[in-house]
């Protein structure tokens, strides 16, 4: 494994390695960026580590055979991903307007990622390679569509994505162990249908798996769709989860139980692969990719999130159990940055899906798996007593990174759960003090999303008193440090359960309690794989099946947003010189 090479994306690179044929070709909706933050690059490096010859084609031209034939046909399988972001989310706003920019496309213009990229790329392969080797789907776009799912952009339930694409297999979730197993199984001529973390289509049901509502039942009865989603959501933990079997027309979607989570040693190994942390030279002629400004010198400390916000898909894609890298391995990565010629001493981010979940987990969960029956680690009312929040390991990690020679600044740009800081009576204050003094630049991101108890319940978010307590702590620490740093608030309009009166309540709260004018807010987007999308489609609370108000008219969604971002004057004592510090990131 050469530490100074990208995986090949041209025949010239294959020839340089003495390869006439690849084992695996990976297709992605992103340009090929060789980074531990890019799923297709991680998969490629994992397969390389088990001795396979791997190539990557980023953003192939879908109107010709030029790109898709560039590397020939693989021996074992094609891997297809829509990219790091769901292509429909990437291409359209919450009000279904086309986005002109794409942070993963060279030059920044959104002209390379097709709608429903996973489907389009699979069809592209089938068009030019008849009777080819298996096509395997992966990535977040496919993972969240593995069963019958609500599609916001067509406003209907769609079949599992394997039926739409006619691909052979899908690896769902993070898929690190599953992709290793798949590579080895196909190399040895074994049937991949027994691999954990794999979905496939079968002519016959698997009776020992949980039989969930059929696609036809979901179309006819929204309560059946809720039942299906509950089974989908509750069977993502490898400790106890069952396989799922769903009838679709005359065949069956089979979802094997999930792959085992990686251990710390495995996390360290994958993070230490020879990523070039750059855009492949093949793409550079078309311009830079904006996302590199953030990810090139960032460190991913862990996977997973147990926050379980109802509008977030991390719970079913990355999982609800935190898996961490070792401090030693993270420090080694920071030291590696200092040897790179374009490193200026600034680490852009040290974090994960939720930055301050690093370094601790519920002991009961680690042994028995995540709780089900609606019992969560944290919800709109409380933090579970079994979850012992402890920022001490994170505090020490950040201190050790600051002390690496050549590191001038290490920011924490990932989102932080402020309710966990206030809940940690031993170390929360010290953690926030370290953040204020060393790890933020003018502002800190927090995500209350809303402040109405009724809306927060449907979002699965903590109450507003926690935010008030946190802000007092944050303001006190900034005053003590002599710094003028602000909070950035993520806010959402038109979430299920949210009416215009709730947005007026939010506006009043931001004016009177937070002393600021929000300059941006998001209109809610119902994405597959989330409870909030289920609420949006069914207009029911998925836990009680009681009716929920859902705003579906675009103009009124925009009006909800306008209510909270409308300018409101302050008196002289409360007015700031610059409101831009409270913009949404």
Of 203, 336, 333, nearest to 271 by C-alpha is 333
Helix (H, G, I), strand (E, B) or coil at 451: coil
With a CB cutoff of 8 Å and minimum separation 6, the contacts of 572 are none
Total residues found in the chain within this entry? 585
Helix (H, G, I), strand (E, B) or coil at 40: helix
Query: Residue 384, annotated ligand binder?
Result: no
Classify the C-alpha dihedral 496-497-503-506 as positive or negative. Answer: negative
Q: How far is 150 from 530, CA to CA, in rounded Å?
A: 10
- Position of tokens 């890019």? 38
Residue 354 CA, distance from chain mean position: 11
Q: From the CB of residue 256, how many other CB atoms can be counted at a distance below 10 Å?
A: 22
Per-residue DSSP letters for 486-545?
EEEEEEEES-TT--HHHHHHHHHHHHHTS-------EEP---TT-HHHHHHHH-B-TTT-
H/E stretch holding 443: strand 443-449
Query: Residue 309, annotated ligand binder?
Result: yes
Q: How far is 125 from 93, CA to CA, in rounded Å?
A: 29
Asked if residues 259 and 177 have their Cβ atoms less than 8 Å apart, the reply is yes
With a CB cutoff of 8 Å and minimum separation 6, the contacts of 512 are none
The Cα-based distances of 475 to 137, 412, 424, 440, 470 in angstroms read 47, 18, 18, 14, 9
Asked if residues 356 and 431 have their Cβ atoms less than 8 Å apart, the reply is yes
Query: Residue 312, annotated ligand binder?
Result: yes
Helix (H, G, I), strand (E, B) or coil at 294: helix
Classify the C-alpha dihedral 207-210-215-219 as positive or negative. Answer: positive
Phi first, then psi: give them for residue 310, nearest 5 degrees: -65, -20
Asked if residues 568 and 504 have their Cβ atoms less than 8 Å apart, the reply is no
Pair of tokens at residue 579 = 């409101």
- Which residue positions form the known binding site? 305, 309, 312
The annotation places the binding site for [4Fe-4S] cluster at 305, 309, 312
């Amino acid at each position: 494994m050469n530490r100074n090479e990208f995986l090949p994306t041209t025949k010239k690179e294959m020839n340089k390695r003495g390869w006439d044929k690849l084992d695996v070709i990976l297709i992605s909706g992103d340009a090929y960026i060789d980074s531990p933050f890019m799923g297709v690059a991680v998969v490629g490096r994992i397969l390389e580590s088990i001795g396979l010859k791997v190539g990557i084609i980023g953003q192939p031209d879908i109107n010709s055979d030029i790109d898709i034939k560039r590397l020939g046909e693989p021996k074992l399988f094609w891997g297809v991903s829509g990219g790091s972001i769901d292509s429909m989310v990437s291409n359209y706003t919450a009000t279904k307007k086309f986005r002109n920019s794409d942070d993963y496309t060279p030059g920044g213009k959104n002209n390379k990622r097709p709608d429903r990229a996973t489907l389009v790329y699979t069809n592209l392969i089938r068009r030019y390679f008849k009777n080819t080797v298996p096509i395997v789907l992966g990535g977040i776009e496919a993972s969240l569509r593995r069963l019958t799912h609500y599609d916001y952009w067509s406003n209907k339930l769609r079949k599992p994505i394997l039926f739409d694409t006619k691909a052979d297999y899908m690896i769902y979730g993070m898929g690190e162990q599953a992709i290793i197993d798949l590579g080895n199984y196909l190399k040895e001529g074994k049937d991949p249908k027994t691999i954990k973390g794999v979905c496939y289509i079968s002519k016959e049901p698997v009776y020992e798996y949980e039989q969930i509502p059929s696609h036809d039942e979901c179309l006819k009865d929204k309560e059946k769709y809720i039942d299906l989603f509950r089974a989908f959501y509750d069977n993502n933990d490898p400790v106890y989860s069952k396989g799922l079997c769903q009838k679709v027309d005359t065949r069956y979607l089979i979802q094997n139980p999930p792959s085992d989570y990686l251990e710390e040693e495995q996390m360290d190994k994958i993070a230490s692969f020879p990523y070039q942390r750059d855009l492949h030279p093949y793409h550079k002629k078309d311009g830079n990719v904006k996302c590199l400004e953030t990810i090139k010198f960032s460190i991913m400390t862990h996977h997973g999130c147990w926050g379980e916000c109802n509008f977030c898909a991390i719970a079913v894609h990355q999982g609800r159990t935190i898996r961490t890298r070792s401090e030693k391995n993270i420090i080694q990565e920071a030291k590696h940055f200092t040897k790179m010629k374009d490193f200026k001493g600034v680490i852009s981010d040290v974090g994960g899906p939720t930055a301050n979940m690093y370094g601790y987990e519920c002991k009961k969960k680690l042994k028995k798996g995540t709780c089900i029956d609606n019992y969560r680690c944290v919800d709109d009312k409380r933090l579970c007593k079994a979850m012992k929040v402890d920022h001490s390991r994170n505090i020490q990690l950040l201190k050790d990174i600051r002390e690496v020679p050549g590191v001038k600044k290490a920011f924490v740009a990932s989102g932080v759960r402020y309710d966990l800081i206030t809940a940690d009576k031993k170390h929360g204050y010290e953690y926030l003090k370290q953040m204020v003094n060393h790890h933020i630049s003018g502002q800190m991101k927090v995500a209350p999303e809303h402040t109405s108890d009724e809306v927060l319940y449907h979002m699965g978010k903590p109450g507003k008193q926690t935010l008030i307590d946190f802000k007092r702590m944050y303001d006190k620490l900034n005053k003590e440090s002599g710094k003028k740093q602000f909070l950035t608030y993520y806010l959402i309009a038109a979430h299920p359960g949210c009416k215009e009166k709730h947005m007026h309540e939010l506006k009043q709260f931001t004016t009177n309690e937070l002393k600021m004018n929000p300059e941006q807010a998001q209109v809610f987007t119902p994405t597959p794989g989330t409870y909030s999308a289920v609420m949006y489609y069914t207009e029911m609370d998925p836990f009680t099946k009681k009716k929920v108000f859902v705003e579906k008219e675009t103009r009124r969604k925009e009006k909800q947003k306008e209510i909270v971002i409308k300018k409101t004057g302050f008196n002289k004592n409360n007015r700031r010189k610059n409101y831009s510090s409270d913009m949404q990131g």
